[in-house]
Amino acid sequence: MSRRTTSKQHQLELALRRGRPCTRGEDLDDAHTPPAAKHGRTGGRAPAGDRPAGDAAAAAARRLTGRIAAEGLADVSYAPVDSPFGTLLLAATKRGLVRVAFPEESVDATLQRLAARVSPRIVEASGPLDAARRELDEYFDGRRRRFDLPLDWTLVGPFGRRVLGVTSEIPYGGVLSYSEVAAEAGSPRGSRAAGNALGSNPIPIVVPCHRVLRSGGALGGYGGGLDRKRFLLELEGAL
Amino acid sequence: MTVSASGLPPFQRFLDAERDVVWRFLVSAVGGAEAEDCFQETFIAALRAYPRLRPGSNVRAWVLTIAHRKALDAHRARARRALPVADATIADRGGSSPSAQDEALANDAPLWQAVVQLPARQRSAVVLRYVADLPHRDIAAAIGCSEQAARRSLHEGLTKLRKVVEV
């Protein structure tokens, strides 16, 4: 191959790697950026994977997930939600709220577990979590005393389902002991097992496992940390 | 990204990892105006089939296979409308005034018009190799042929394009 042919080949490959100039994707999201700045082509080659292509792809992906959520094509939607505890991760299925994760919990681990236990068709979309976000805001403001959200118990086993069902009935401002919850769940000698089920409650705050204390009135345990348990009980006027 | 035996990653993570390469592929294969629709159709088809992916699958080659098919559909639809490619390129730009973006488009326009006019397999091979930066094995998987056939399509496509650049 002659030197000239090699050079032509190289020139062609460079032009191909630049990719085809995009005439629409970017314009949808940042119409005010001058096209030259968007493409960065005035100084020569813009490599594949440059920022403009990434921005356009990110914008297209956001429109996609919005559509997936609006058309009900995802099995699980999730969204971050601000709270006095920091950013909570909420996840919902078509049946209802399936997960509330505290800020220290790894987002990746939480999503991976949902993928394995519920469905891998998971997208980030705030729309399906709007009601839950609003009710949590009202609750933390002291303007809501009970949640009216449908719940999905897929992440809970049969015993845990009974324990958390009893727990859901404890009214705002009230408390029960571990042994009382165990007895009402049909296992009078199962207070330790009930404690474990409460400790792995996948929908804390909304399913009020913070309202279950030791028989003597000591706080016991809490998956989100005892400071938060105390905060919630004080918010509700139970302490 | 391959699927590990421990299970599929959440779809959102798959989308985050593959959206850029799919977007670049589609912009180059069908143009900016049609890339958006093809992108949405590609990932919605991927979402439907996603839970059936097997451990060890090469998800990038898989999603580019879908994108390749959506690009073919777009080309067929365009052919049915009998709209010459050059006109489509001008239509993309609407009535806006000339800009640096248009200039970049104009400089590379003959090349990309030639890419669009390549036979489907050659076009996809060229775009997957240079725009999506895929190795030959993954190109073969994406367009559904042997690795040898993918190399041949790529070579044939480049030979035709070189003539355009040399003019």
Band (pLDDT 50/70/90 cuts) for residue A2 is: low
Range of the domain at A226: 158-235
Mutation choice for A interface testing from B101, B122, B156 by most A CBs within 10 A: B101
Contacts A–B by Cβ distance under 8 A: 166
- Residues of chain B with pLDDT > 90: what percent? 50
Q: Say whether pLDDT at A157 is over 50.
A: yes
Please identify, among A70, A94, A113, the residue that sits at the C-terminal boundary of a domain. A70
CA–CA separation, B8 and B23 (whole Å): 22
Q: Give the residue-averaged pLDDT of A208-216.
A: 95
* Structure-token pair, residue A177: 């002991």
Nearest-Cα residue of chain B relative to residue A18: B131
Residues A44-64: pLDDT tens digits?
333 444 456 678 999 999 999
Nearby residues of A53 by Cβ (< 8 Å), 6 or more positions away: A19, A22, B20, B23, B24, B27
Which pTM was predicted?
0.81
Query: How many angstroms away from the CA of A23 is the closest CA of chain B?
Result: 5
Q: In the prediction, which pLDDT does B132 show?
A: 85
Q: Is A145 part of a structural domain of the chain?
A: no
Q: Per the domain annotation, does A137 fall within a domain?
A: no
In a domain, A28, yes or no: yes
The residue of chain A with its CA nearest to that of B10 is: A120
A75-129, pLDDT tens digit by residue? 999 999 999 999 999 999 999 999 999 999 999 999 999 999 999 999 999 999 9
Contact B32 A20 (CB under 8 A): yes
Mutation target among A5, A13, A14, A16 for the B interface, most CBs of B within 10 A: A16
- Does the pLDDT value for residue A26 go beyond 80? no
Contact B40 A115 (CB under 8 A): no
Residue A106 lies in a domain: yes
How far is the C-alpha of B86 from the C-alpha of B84, rounded, in Å? 5
| A21 found inside a domain | yes
Q: For B30-81, what is each residue's pLDDT tens digit?
A: 888 899 999 999 999 999 999 999 877 889 999 999 999 999 998 888 777 7
Measure in Å the smallest separation between the Cα of A50 and chain B Cα atoms: 10
Tokens encoding A45: 């080659």
**pLDDT at residue B93 tops 50:** no
Q: Do A25 and B36 touch (CB under 8 A)?
A: yes
Cross-chain CB nearest to A19 (options B24, B44, B93): B24
**pLDDT score for B98:** 46
Regarding whether A85 and A49 lie in a shared domain, the answer is no
End position of a domain, from candidates A44, A70, A96:
A70
Is residue A63 domain-shared with residue A85, that is, in the same domain? no
CATH code: domain of residue A106: 3.30.160
The yes-or-no answer on residue A209 being catalytic is yes
Closest-CA distance of chain B to residue A154, Å:
17
**Å between A8 CA and nearest CA of chain B:** 7
Please report, for the domain that includes residue A202, its CATH number. Answer: 1.10.10.10
From A69, A175, A209, A233, the catalytic residue: A209
The CATH number assigned to the domain with range B11-166 reads 1.20.140
3-state secondary structure chain B: CECECCECCCHHHHHHHHHHHHHHHHHHHHCHHHHHHHHHHHHHHHHHHHHHCCCCCEHHHHHHHHHHHHHHHHHHHHHHHCCCHHHHHHHHHCCCCCCHHHHHHHHHHHHHHHHHHCCHHHHHHHHHHHCCCCCHHHHHHHHCCCHHHHHHHHHHHHHHHHHHHHC
**Which chain B residue is nearest to residue A55, measuring alpha carbons?**
B20
Within-domain flag for A139: no
Q: Does residue A5 fall inside a structural domain?
A: no
Q: What is the four-CA torsion angle of A18, A23, A29, A32, rounded to 10 degrees? A: 100
In a domain, A146, yes or no: no
Q: Which of B159, B76, B24 is nearest to A51 (CA)?
A: B24
Question: Are both A47 and A62 inside the same structural domain?
Answer: yes
Are residues B10 and A116, on separate chains, in Cβ contact within 8 Å? Answer: no
Q: Would you state the pLDDT for residue B103?
A: 56
State whether A66 and A80 are in the same domain. Answer: no
Q: Which of B40, B127, B132 sits opposite A67 (nearest CB)?
A: B40
Residue of chain B with shortest Cα separation from A74: B47
Contact B104 A124 (CB under 8 A): no
Place of tokens 């979309």: A125
The shortest C-alpha distance from A229 to chain B (Å) reads 31
Q: How far is CA B49 from CA A123, A127, B7, B58, B59, in A?
A: 15, 24, 15, 14, 12
Judging contacts by C-beta atoms under 8 Å, the chain B residues touching residue A8 are 162, 165-166
The phi, psi pair for A122, rounded to 5°, reads -115, 130
Whether residue A162 is found in the same domain as residue A223? yes
Res A142: pLDDT: 96
Residue B105 is nearest to which of A16, A21, A58, comparing CB atoms?
A21
Asked if residue A92 and residue A28 are part of one domain, the reply reads no
pLDDT for position B110: 82
Q: Are residues A188 and A217 in the same domain?
A: yes
For chain A, what is the domain count? 3
Token pair listed for A97 = 């709220």
